[in-house]
Structure 1
Amino acid sequence: MRSLVMPPALTRWVAGIDVATAAGSPVVDVPDHATTLLLRLDRSELIVMGPRTRAAYHVGTPGRSCVRVRMRPGRAQALLGRPLRALADRALPLRELPGLDVDRFAADPVAALVETVADRPEPAHRLDEAARLLTVVGVATTAARLHISERRLHTLFTDGTGLSPKRFARIDRLRTVLAADTGRWSDIAATAGYYDQSHMTAEFRHFMGVPPAAFTAGRHPTASPCTT
């Protein structure tokens, strides 16, 4: 996997871009609250992948390459021109994306995306602020600090990310654990915002299919062939 450097104009829209090539070995796609644009380079096929609420363990076809663009909260909604509420755990082909030339995208993903978003108004930052707050406080407090109702917050998230605020926060905590350096599980649980280590272990098993100690030791569920 090779990560691409993005200019400031693109970082307001995109959390990361990489070019990945399957090596035929098992791969883990961890849960993710982001929507991803994926271009299959062997077919010039553009796919939108919604938030992933469970880990996927698979083996890709050796040599198959793709460009992956992980969008920031709310940006995929603005780019696609539609709410994301039905997109969680789904991968849908896109016939076209207005303003994006697929051949140009394959040749130079960064430049193609910069051109695509250049004339688009940037979405309001309320969802950005809500996502930031949810990493440190609960749903009720987030809604109160934004001066909106919890129902309005729920609509904002399901339309803008495809997830409820609570599930968005749960996945974010899990990703904090996955990104943690070595350390005591109790300390990692506290840093990620869990009640205790038992709470973290139960959540980890729910999303990843195995407890954290088994996962870090490489004892993963059996990988299946990649179908995307």
Structure 2
Amino acid sequence: MTTTYPAHTLTDELIETTVAAPESLRPWITELGHIPTVADVSVPFTHVPHVATTIVLRAEAAGHREAMVVGPHTKATYSRAEKPAGCVRLRLELGATRQLLGVPATDLANRVFRLADFPGVAADLADELTRLTPEEVLPFLADVLPRRISEDPTQRAHRTLLRAAVAAMSTATPTPVHELAADLAVSERQLRNLFTTGVGVSPKHYARIGRVRRILAHAGNTPWAQLATTTGYYDQSHMTADFRSLMGVPPTSFLRGNLPAPTPCQPLDHP
């Protein structure tokens, strides 16, 4: 599925190559993405809303390396890099942040941290990860990580439940929360807590992000009214308002390249 972006705008989906994580890592990591060094720092970088928490291994062209954690992004941001750099990005499985990082995903949304500052097992690997090549990262983690993580039956049950809930909320017409809670035999409050703790956003916002990403995947090739219907909106005006809320501009402006002014990269927080 090809995502549509205006000319002269960079984003991970245009320049990133991805490799699926091996089965031994899938309970905690879904894939590795590699973005080669971006030398032209004058080009704005679009960060589309997403729900994954990501461990980012950033390498500047000048040699400086650091390991960071980027939480779910509930709205788009537009930034301009300060130095030429590339990175390796490890996308965490939804529900795995507490096991890997020692904190719930809700504490990470729209924030950036140093990996070494976390209390979880992944923080102990920060220095070693920054010294590896992109090709060495997954084999290293597959050898080390399963031996360092323990999981009790309750955690496994919550992960299974979250996976089922996420699947139901990832369709073009997501299941209403009250119906999904009944289908999964949990209360609405439990379901919302499951999402905020394991994903970092509410079920409703998870569905909104998915819809906007589907708009981006088909914009320019499908009439707006038809796209609104196929992505689950009541009408085109509802779709436009939701897109503007998450992306900062309406769909037509985004496709024309009329984007919000870029800002410096987000500063680091402390968990």
TM-score, normalisation: structure 2 = 0.76
For the 8 Å contact 2:21–2:31, the answer to whether it is kept is no
Aligned-partner residue type, residue 27 of structure 1: F
Root mean square deviation, CA, Å: 2.1
| 1:71-112 per-position Cα deviation (integer Å, ceiling 9, x unaligned) | 221122321132122211111112162563533453222223
Between the aligned partners of 2:105 and 2:21, the Cα distance in structure 1 is 26
Residue aligning to 2:127: 102
Is this contact kept in 2: 1:51–1:89, CA < 8 A? yes
Structure 2 spans left out of the alignment, 5+ residues: 1-14
State the number of aligned residues.
228
Written as runs of structure 1 = structure 2, the 5 A alignment for 1:79-94 is 79-94=100-115
- Contact residue 21 and residue 32 of structure 2 kept, 8 A: no
Answer yes or no: is 1:194 the counterpart of 2:233: yes
Shift of 1:114: 2.0
Note the C-alpha offset of 1:116: 4.1
Q: Does residue 129 of the first structure (1) align with residue 164 of the second (2)?
A: yes
Is the contact between residue 28 and residue 56 of structure 1 (CA under 8 Å) also seen in structure 2?
Answer: yes
Please state if 1:41 is matched with 2:55.
no
Counterparts of residues 4-15 of structure 1 (less than 5 Å): 4-9=18-23, 10-15=25-30
Q: TM-score, normalised by structure 1?
A: 0.89
Distance 2:95 2:76 in 1: 22
Paired AA for residue 32 in structure 1:
H
* Partner in structure 2 of residue 149 of structure 1: 187
Distance 2:93 2:239 in 1: 25
Question: What is the SS of the residue equivalent to 1:37?
Answer: strand
Distance 2:217 2:99 in 1: 29
Q: CA deviation at 1:160?
A: 0.6
Q: How far did 1:35 drift? A: 0.8
| C-alpha contact 1:49 1:92 (8 A) present in aligned 2 | yes
Q: Report if the CA contact (8 A) 1:27-1:57 is conserved.
A: yes
Question: 1:3, 1:18 within 8 Å by CA — same for their partners in 2?
Answer: yes
Instruction: Give 1:212 shift.
Output: 0.5
